[in-house]
């Protein structure tokens, strides 16, 4: 997937920040912020570039597949129609893989080396968090992936694939190291950081929240480790707790600096996606007040399109269809009668939010400890946080109390823990519309929500993994665990039962 963001713009911004920064934080060290060395400049340029890259990876490259598979959207155009019916080739794995292994990992290693040379412990910690997160994304999508031998070219030209479980374990260790790095005296400055502006406290919360995400991925296969890890995180109470602390990258309305999903859905390929009637139908049936924040109208009506139908019946609304609204696209745009927004794009790509954290804890309480009271409280907290965020980002005043009360009642009257889990996960499905990658993880881990097969599907079910990339088959074939994109998409990754 082509990156639309201008990386040279970020380079210029980073250099400007370096040159213009002269705060008291620098007065007790022997490094001049007004005359940065190449070692200083490299982390300050690479860090924001990788942050933007991860924003495009999660917010567009992965999103275009998972938004259709999780039936948030449906594919109605040349690029997305095959995704909608699970028709993938090994080439479909190239985009995400290359972003991580040819982009983020070597760039971060270079930046980390320079940051360590400058004793810039904040940037070291930030880089380690992004390294861990990058490897976790790779493991989530593909299963077994290179880690221990990755980024050692030319010494190792064909790296081995580490088991998915080991990648998660090593990522946890990297995150612990990151937290330690950021707790030490800092001799640099994370001026280039676009996510938390160099806040060690917020990056530490993000690191702990990624750890929580990993423990949830472990819970079915290694429940003892998951329980111990989750309990320790809850006791420490130092993960993302408010919407202001969300692990996300905020974009702007500036051309080529807009939210990547907005760029795709409203500018680059406005005819390639429609809103799936599955999510719209659930929200309509429950009188969900988020509908006007989530979806655009074509002037008056909401227009959806069934997943997979475009294989046999071309849409009659080539231009007229509901697209993603202000929550994913940003406020201030102008609604065109076709359902498109112009001059918007100032919305974030969300990696981990406070709402997601509370949903994870609710899931853990239901599946690992059986403490329904904790699950009920965290379920309410998760919904409350999400409604507050949707209201703030969309600029709409949402009356959420009746809806939250109704969902709490559904949870309370549920016949057993499986039904309660269904209530929680169905609601979480509605909150992660812009981060369908996490919905995909949830669905594979819990089987929820129950999603119908897309019409005209070429497989018997939604893919359980991304196909290993064609580039790896060409250059590292002996180490690639699965080689047939047609049959191997149904092979469950390690973390699934």
Q: 394 and 327 in contact (C-beta within 8 Å)?
A: yes
Using 50, 70 and 90 to split pLDDT, how confident is the model at 14? very low
Residue 26 pLDDT more than 70? no
**Cis status of the peptide bond prior to 138, with omega within 30 of 0:** no
**CATH code that applies to domain 7-25+35-251+350-488:** 1.25.40.390
- The structure tokens listed for 135 are 């490897």
pLDDT tens digits for range 244-282: 999 999 999 998 899 999 999 999 999 899 999 999 999
Q: What is the pLDDT of residue 190?
A: 57
Residues 476, 22: Cα–Cα separation, whole Å: 48
Residue range 100-114: mean pLDDT, rounded = 95
Q: What is the pLDDT of residue 320?
A: 85
Q: What is the pLDDT of residue 27?
A: 26
Residue bearing the bigger pLDDT, 164 or 316: 164
Q: What is the pLDDT of residue 332?
A: 87
Residues 357, 153: Cα–Cα separation, whole Å: 37
Q: What is the pLDDT of residue 314?
A: 54
Residue range 92-107: mean pLDDT, rounded = 97
pLDDT tens digits for range 42-56: 677 899 999 999 999
Count of CB atoms situated within 10 Å of the CB of 119? 14
Residues 468, 479: Cα–Cα separation, whole Å: 11
Residue 326 pLDDT more than 70? yes
Q: What is the pLDDT of residue 264?
A: 96
Residue 25 pLDDT more than 50? no
Residue 2 pLDDT more than 70? no
Residue range 139-164: mean pLDDT, rounded = 97
175-189, 334-348, 363-377: least confidently modelled range: 175-189
Residue 8 pLDDT more than 60? no
Using 50, 70 and 90 to split pLDDT, how confident is the model at 20? very low
pLDDT tens digits for range 352-405: 999 999 999 999 999 999 999 999 999 999 999 999 999 999 999 999 999 999
Three-state DSSP state, 377:
helix
Q: What is the pLDDT of residue 186?
A: 72
Residue 34 pLDDT more than 50? no
- Cα 130 to Cα 66, 348, 351: the distances in Å are 22, 17, 11
pLDDT tens digits for range 436-454: 999 999 999 999 999 999 9
Q: 5 and 56 in contact (C-beta within 8 Å)?
A: yes
Residue bearing the bigger pLDDT, 184 or 9: 184
Residues 329, 335: Cα–Cα separation, whole Å: 11
Q: What is the pLDDT of residue 40?
A: 53
Q: What is the pLDDT of residue 185?
A: 73
Three-state DSSP state, 94:
helix
Residue bearing the bigger pLDDT, 58 or 120: 58
pLDDT tens digits for range 196-228: 999 999 999 999 999 999 999 999 999 999 999
What's the mean per-residue pLDDT of the chain?
A: 90
């Amino acid at each position: 997937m082509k990156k639309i963001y201008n990386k040279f713009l970020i380079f210029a911004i980073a250099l400007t920040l370096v040159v213009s920064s002269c705060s008291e934080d620098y007065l007790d060290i022997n490094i001049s912020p007004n005359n940065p060395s190449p070692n200083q400049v490299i982390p300050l340029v690479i860090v924001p570039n990788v942050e933007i890259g991860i924003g495009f990876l999660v917010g567009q490259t992965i999103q275009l597949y998972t938004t259709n598979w999780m039936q948030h959207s449906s594919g109605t155009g040349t690029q997305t129609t095959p995704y909608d019916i699970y028709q993938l080739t090994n080439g479909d794995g190239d985009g995400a893989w290359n972003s991580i292994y040819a982009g983020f990992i070597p760039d971060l290693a270079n930046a980390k080396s320079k940051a360590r040379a400058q004793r810039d412990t904040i940037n070291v910690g930030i880089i380690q968090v992004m390294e861990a997160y990058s490897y976790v994304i790779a493991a989530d999508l593909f299963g077994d992936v290179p880690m221990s031998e990755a980024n050692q070219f030319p010494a190792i030209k064909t790296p081995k694939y580490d088991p998915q479980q080991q990648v998660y374990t090593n990522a946890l260790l990297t995150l612990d190291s990151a937290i330690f790095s950021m707790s030490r005296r800092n001799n640099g400055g994370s001026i280039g950081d676009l996510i938390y502006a160099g806040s060690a406290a917020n990056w530490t919360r993000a690191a702990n929240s990624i750890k929580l995400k990993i423990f949830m991925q472990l819970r079915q296969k290694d429940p003892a480790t998951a329980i111990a890890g989750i309990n320790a995180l809850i006791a420490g109470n130092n993960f993302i707790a408010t919407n202001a602390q969300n692990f996300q990258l905020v974009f702007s309305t500036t051309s080529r600096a807009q939210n990547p999903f907005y760029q795709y859905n409203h500018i680059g390929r406005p005819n390639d996606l429609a809103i799936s009637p599955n999510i719209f139908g659930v929200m309509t049936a429950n009188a969900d007040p988020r509908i006007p924040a989530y979806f655009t109208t074509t002037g008056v009506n909401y227009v959806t399109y069934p997943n997979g139908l475009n294989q046999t019946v071309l849409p009659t609304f080539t231009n007229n269809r509901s697209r993603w609204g202000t929550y994913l696209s940003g406020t201030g745009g102008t609604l065109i009668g076709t359902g498109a927004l112009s001059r918007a794009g100032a919305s974030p790509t969300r990696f981990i939010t406070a709402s997601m954290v509370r949903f994870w804890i609710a899931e853990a309480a239901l599946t690992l400890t059986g403490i329904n009271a904790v699950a009920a409280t965290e379920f309410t907290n998760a919904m409350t946080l999400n409604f507050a965020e949707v209201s703030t980002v969309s600029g709409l005043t949402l009356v959420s109390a009746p809806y939250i009360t109704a969902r709490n009642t559904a949870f309370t009257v549920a016949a057993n823990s499986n039904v309660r889990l269904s209530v929680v996960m169905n609601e979480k499905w509605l909150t992660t519309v812009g981060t369908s990658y996490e919905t995909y993880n949830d669905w594979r881990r819990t089987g929820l929500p129950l999603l119908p097969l897309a019409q005209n599907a070429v497989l018997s079910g939604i893919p359980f993994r991304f196909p290993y990339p064609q580039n790896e088959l060409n250059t590292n074939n002996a180490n690639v665990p699965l080689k047939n994109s047609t049959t191997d998409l149904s092979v469950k990754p390690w973390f699934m039962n």
